Amino acid sequence: MPNTNTTKRREYVRDLVYGISSSGKTSWWIRVAIHLHETTGKKTRWYLGDGGGTTIDVSQVDDFVEVMHYNLWDHPLEVTQKIAEGWWPQDVEEPNSKLLPPTADELAHYGLFVYEGMSVMADYIMGDREGGLANRMARGEMLNNDASFRLTDGALKFGGNARTHYAFTQRRILDCIERTRALPVHVGWTAHERKVDDEDTREVWIGPDVAGKVLTTKIGASFGNTIHLLPVRHTVKQTDPVTKKPVDQVVMQRRAYTRSHYDPSGSHFVQYFANTRLPVGVGAGSFPEYLVDPDPVDYYKRLRESAKKDKTHGNT
């Protein structure tokens, strides 16, 4: 991890981890939370918008990880902006409990804020929760007169999403990410993945899912590092318990890719987006393309070591 005792904002992590469901996104940031608590005593606030929290071993983190299920609150536009500034509910167990801004003294007790995740936050903004864009469409509100659909079933009204909603939601997500940059803590985001055709390069990519295709290949610019988590089928030699002969055994290997890559199985030639911002004097070849059974503490240790090498060679 970066130097957790420093007060310099440039030392804070502002990173995105993305991948398919159960690829290890929650585990990545849980390990960071545990490390920060063990080394600094600081706690973590976790803004959870999907079921990823069910993978958290509560016995490990109950004392120092606080969880808010933000998608249970009405008015997604207001809620997402406030949580991006570190606001926290008066009663975390009561949906729609009043959100309160953090004080400087309060923030001093925290080392990490996690936003899980970017994809579900976009769905939350566009959805049926009161104040969501589909809900607004059901009530007859429109953005820029961009038509969608509305229907009534019994006493309930339902609405869909118009094209304008996607651009609006993308802008709101970018704004939320930018607001987290002002927080004096490490910030971790997660996202699901999606496949897109890049309109600029005409290439096919898989990257973070952010309310449509436009930001998938561009959202990395909003973060320090973007790590792609991918379970990979890997063949290893094992001894057959009956014949005692070596046999090929297919096992699942978890990987964290540190830079853009192709499918490791070779089954397709779609590129996956990932990016690690290495110091100027450090070539990409000196940093591993991926880490097996990835440990974020090891990842950030390697980044620190790369920075030291850069300083040794006289670069700033």
CATH number of 14-224: 3.40.50
Q: Would you state the pLDDT for residue 242? A: 77
Answer yes or no: is pLDDT of 52 > 70: no
Q: What's the whole-model pTM score?
A: 0.86
Q: What is the DSSP letter of 209?
A: -
Answer yes or no: is pLDDT of 164 > 90: no
Q: Do residues 116 and 25 lie in contact, with contact meaning Cβ atoms separated by under 8 Å?
A: yes
Q: What is the DSSP letter of 222?
A: G
Answer yes or no: is pLDDT of 176 > 80: yes
Average pLDDT over residues 262-286: 80
- Mean pLDDT comparison of 25-34, 190-199, 271-280, highest-scoring range: 25-34
pLDDT digits (tens, 9 = 90+) for 228-251: 999 887 766 677 777 777 766 667
In 3D space, the residue among 272, 279, 280 whose CA is nearest the CA of residue 305 turns out to be: 279
User: Where exactly are the structural domains of the chain?
Assistant: 14-224, 230-316
Answer yes or no: is pLDDT of 187 > 80: yes
- How far apart are the C-alpha atoms of 134 and 149, rounded to whole Å? 9
In 3D space, the residue among 231, 286, 280, 224 whose CA is nearest the CA of residue 257 turns out to be: 231
Average pLDDT over residues 288-296: 93
- How far apart are the C-alpha atoms of 69 and 216, rounded to whole Å? 25
